[in-house]
Amino acid sequence: MTSRLPPRGNVTTSYAHSEKKRDGSTVPATSPSVRARVRGAERSSMAPLRPLSRLPGLNSANVLLVESEEQFQQRLADRLVEETTFTVNVRLAKSLPLPVENEESRPRIDLVVFIINLTSELSLQSAEASVKCLDHRYFLGKVSFMVTNARNVAAPGERLDAVRKLAASLHCALLFAEDQTPDGVTNATERLLTILKVAAGLVPMTTALYLSNLTRGTALRDIDQPSFD
């Protein structure tokens, strides 16, 4: 009987003005007075997230999970760091841009994943706004969209079409996840790990751009056709 290896990665949560690590320690946030001044200059002080701003780690990958409602990202993160063949470091955020205070200590982000709950219009709107805070080089195979509740009767078909159009227009992978069952979380984790390994350069002879061509969202000309569902 083989013993299970412990997780090699870690999870860090990014808030508006601080970043909280899994062990509960927090990078100091700005004081209320400073926070008020920062809020006024927020647009100019928060630069877009850039994929090549740091050197890559040895046999490791960093993924950023962005979800405004924080319903699925923690469970997904816990499963991702259980990977034992390479080190997976997960950072969590409700939206972009990330806090500028911790930019110097922030590692290179190999893959950004936007988790969108199809039953929530605010979830889609948040993802649409956050995408604009990414450097254009991320859209060369380093961005994915993960959709939850696609089978929920409360999710309108027009919202799914909007997500598909967004993913297709940015040439990004579009994944569907069943977040209500353990098997669904496992399947979502496995698919995401496959993309993450390529995005981090851990798969020889395969680039993130090549994988993006295989997994990107449906072409716009197909989406614009009438739906007969």
Q: How many CB atoms lie within 10 A of CB 179?
A: 18
DSSP state of 102: G
Q: Are 143 and 112 in contact (CB under 8 A)?
A: yes
Give me the torsion for CA of 211, 172, 70, 43, rounded to 10°: 130
Q: Could you give the CA distance from residue 80 to residue 185 in angstroms, rounded to a whole number?
A: 10
Distance from chain centroid for Cα 110: 10
Q: Could you give the CA distance from residue 82 to residue 88 in angstroms, rounded to a whole number?
A: 8
Whether 114 has a pLDDT exceeding 80, the answer reads: yes
Residues contacting 197, CB < 8 A, separation 6+: 61, 86, 203
Report how far apart, in Å, the C-alpha atoms of 116 and of each of 25, 66, 186 are.
Answer: 28, 9, 18
Q: Are 118 and 160 in contact (CB under 8 A)?
A: yes
Determine if the peptide bond prior to 97 is cis (ω within 30°). Answer: yes
Which pTM was predicted? Answer: 0.78
Domains in the chain, CATH or no CATH each: 10-16+43-220 (3.40.50.300)
Closest by CA to 134, choosing from 172, 188, 89, is: 172
The string of pLDDT tens digits covering residues 5-19 is 455 677 776 544 334
Q: What is the pLDDT of residue 57?
A: 83
Whether 22 has a pLDDT exceeding 70, the answer reads: no
Whether 205 has a pLDDT exceeding 50, the answer reads: yes
Q: What is the pLDDT of residue 104?
A: 82
At what angle are helices 121-131 and 157-169 packed, to 10 degrees? 10
